[in-house]
């Protein structure tokens, strides 16, 4: 998982926007880029609103096996992956379909406030 920020900027008129549209959505991967976009939005008198939030993006391949060695996979009634909302940006949750193994990526920390629960499917 990598940390990123999603920012939405709204202009009063499309012709006042550098992109030629009234709403621009961007994802940046470091705080410096986010700061530049926020400062530019604050300085532009045609920007009527902007908002941003932290997000996590999956990098690399998902595990092909649970920690007990069972092959990954699921069905319509027993999904093996979902997302837990959290103030840190969220956690990808992988569940084994054959055993109670549940893996959260990134690991849930003491400062996390996940809305989900680690339970077996």
The Cα–Cα gap between 92 and 70 comes to 19
Under DSSP, is residue 52 helix (H, G, I), strand (E, B) or coil? Answer: strand
pLDDT per residue as tens digits for the range 56-92: 766 667 777 888 888 766 555 556 677 777 777 677 7
The Cα–Cα gap between 97 and 75 comes to 9
Local confidence band at 16 (pLDDT 50, 70, 90 cut-offs): very high
Cβ atoms within 10 Å of 102's Cβ, excluding its own: 17
The Cα–Cα gap between 26 and 88 comes to 19
User: Which percentage of the chain shows pLDDT scores above 90?
Assistant: 36
Residue of 121, 30, 120, 105 whose CA lies nearest to 61? 105
Alpha helices in the chain (DSSP H): 31-43
């Amino acid at each position: 998982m990598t940390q990123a920020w999603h920012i939405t900027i709204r202009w009063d008129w499309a012709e006042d926007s550098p992109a030629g549209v009234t709403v621009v959505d961007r994802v940046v991967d470091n705080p410096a880029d986010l700061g530049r976009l926020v400062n530019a939005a604050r300085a532009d008198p045609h920007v009527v609103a902007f908002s941003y939030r932290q997000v996590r993006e999956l990098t690399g391949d998902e595990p092909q096996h649970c920690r007990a060695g069972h092959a990954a996979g699921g069905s319509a009634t027993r999904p093996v992956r979902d997302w837990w909302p959290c103030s840190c940006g969220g956690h990808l949750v992988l569940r084994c379909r054959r055993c109670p193994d549940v893996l959260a990526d990134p690991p849930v920390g003491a400062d996390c406030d996940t809305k989900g629960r680690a339970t077996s499917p």
